[in-house]
Amino acid sequence: MSGPLIAPSLLSSDFGAFAEAARACQQAGAEFLHFDVMDGAFVPNITFGPGVVKALRPHSRACFDVHLMIERPERWIETFAEAGADIITVHAEACIHLQRVLAQIRAAGARAGLSLNPATPLDILDYVLDDLDLLLIMTVNPGFGGQSFIPAMLPKIAAARDRLSAAAHSVFLEVDGGIGGATAREVVRAGANVLVAGSSVFGHPGGLAAGVRALRVAAESD
């Protein structure tokens, strides 16, 4: 991989213009499109469901990166996979039988992702590393966009990169929360290779394409 992959988060886009946003993200060169699915229970916000993923699938060839911030995610795995999700990420904190859920994601035809909240330790990786295609380190407490990056997550990202190097296959290391020009370089240096960005991309004064370019330049700067 020559550089970090960019994953604009639809949570920060205009909810009345999702199709336009999906097309614009692809045209801007973003490799992933990130869907923050929230149920109002696991996190205090409510966003959207599989219908949005399905409706947007014809509008983009990007990797649909679906982040389930919901209780009992195993109820929805097949539905999101059928809707067009390429990667389905669940929270360790929401799964009683985590390994089973990760296997369920792969059986449904998607790649399996695991997300860890800021205070959740990395030790859980010792038992599910072979079941992962993506690890998402939350660099804010999940639930709302526009939050400030938690600096204490940098050593956690670095430690996660060390652990993932022991995997028998390649695993994406994604970060989500407060990612912009000031933090992109730091998280990439720590080992992240997929950057979820919301307000820094969709809220860029030069427009979405300029936001994607600025984030990539910042992430790849020495």
Mean pLDDT of 45-56: 97
CB atoms within 10 A of CB 169: 9
* DSSP H helices in the chain: 18-27, 50-56, 77-83, 98-107, 125-128, 153-164, 181-190, 199-202, 208-220
Examine the residue annotation and report whether 86 is marked as an active-site residue of this protein. Answer: no
Residue-level pLDDT at 146: 67
Residue 3 has what pLDDT?
Answer: 87
Exposure letters 104-117 (e unless 16+ CB within 10 A, then b): bbbebebbbbbbbb
Backbone angles phi, psi at 163, to 5 degrees: -70, -40
Q: Which CATH number characterizes residue 27's domain?
A: 3.20.20.70
What three-state secondary structure class fits 112? strand
For residue 190, which amino acid is it?
Answer: A
* Residue written as token pair 């950057």: 195
pLDDT-derived band at 142 (thresholds 50, 70, 90) equals confident
Q: What single-letter DSSP state applies at residue 146? A: S
Instruction: Let me know if 65 is exposed, middle or buried by CB neighbors in 10 A (0-12, 13-18, 19+).
Output: buried
Task: Give me the mean pLDDT over the 114-123 stretch.
Answer: 97
Catalytic residue among 14, 36, 126, 222: 36
pLDDT tens-place string over residues 3-22: 899 999 999 999 999 999 99
pLDDT of residue 137 exceeding 90, the answer is yes
Give the pLDDT confidence score for residue 148 in this predicted structure. 87
Provide CB contacts within 8 A for 107, sequence distance 6+.
none
Residue 130: give the domain boundaries: 5-220
Active-site residue, from 39, 65, 133, 176: 176
- Statement: the pTM of the whole predicted model exceeds 0.75: yes
Question: pLDDT tens across 57-80, in order?
Answer: 999 999 999 999 999 999 999 999
Whole-number pLDDT of residue 145: 67
Number of domains the chain contains: 1
Average confidence score pLDDT of the chain: 95
What value does the mean pLDDT take over residues 106-134?
97
Q: Is 36 a catalytic residue?
A: yes
Q: Is the separation of the CB atoms in 215 and 184 below 8 Å?
A: yes
Residue 114 to residues 4, 36, 72, 137, 158, Cα–Cα distance (Å): 19, 14, 14, 9, 17
Q: Once rounded to an integer, what is the mean pLDDT over residues 83-98?
A: 98
- In the chain, % of residues over pLDDT 90: 91
- 109 pLDDT above the threshold of 60: yes
